[in-house]
Structure 1
Amino acid sequence: MTKSELVERLSLSNDELNKKEAELVVNTIFDSIGNALVGGDRVEIRGFGYFSIRLRDAREARNPKSGEVVKIPRKKTPFFKTGKELRERVNS
């Protein structure tokens, strides 16, 4: 499902929201999650899962074309773990 499909479903399932308002709601939710992660916070949605930031250590890798060693710096990556209810729904 794409973001535009999500907006479409939200506007169809709720008579009070038109497409523009539904898009604003979806954008606000995504922006809020992103801003919380940038601030180092964890975002938990009960029954769905949680988003957090994981720190990846610096490492060395090889360029497959030339074989030369490349240093990859330490970096933060977003991480999502599913909640129990979502996992059970997917597996049933």
Structure 2
Amino acid sequence: MTYKELKVQVSKNAQVPFQIVDKVVEELFQTVRNALLRGERLQIPAFGVFYVKTRKPRKVRTIEGKIKQLPTRRVPVFAPAHALKKEIESNTFKEE
């Protein structure tokens, strides 16, 4: 599903004009982005948690065989909720 398809589907399911859904979805994702940039956790019950994880510096070997040091990095992470995992595993979700 593409970003536009998501907006169309929400508009259709909620029976709300696309222009309103477009603004709401844009603001929703901007709010999630801003929370992650501030280092906050965003927990959505029965869906999962978005958070930022700090990866330690590590050494890697390049194609040429040289050792290179990768710096500390902050990466966004999504951890699905137990209920979502179970639903996907049991394949009980309804595809639309």
TM-score above 0.5 = yes
Supply the RMSD in Å over aligned alpha carbons.
1.2
Structure 1, gaps ≥5 residues long: none
The 2-side partners of 1:68 and 1:20 are apart by 53
Identity across the alignment (%)? 29
Matching residue's letter, 1:4: K
The 2-side partners of 1:85 and 1:2 are apart by 24
- Determine helix, strand or coil for the equivalent of 1:87: helix
Give the TM-score normalised by structure 2: 0.85
- Determine helix, strand or coil for the equivalent of 1:40: coil
Structure 2, gaps ≥5 residues long: 91-96
**Mapping for residues 60-71 of structure 1, pairs under 5 Å:** 60-64=59-63, 66-71=64-69
Matching residue's letter, 2:80: T
Count of residues paired in the alignment: 90
Q: Which residue of 1 aligns with 2:22?
A: 23
Q: Which residue of 2 aligns with 1:37?
A: 36
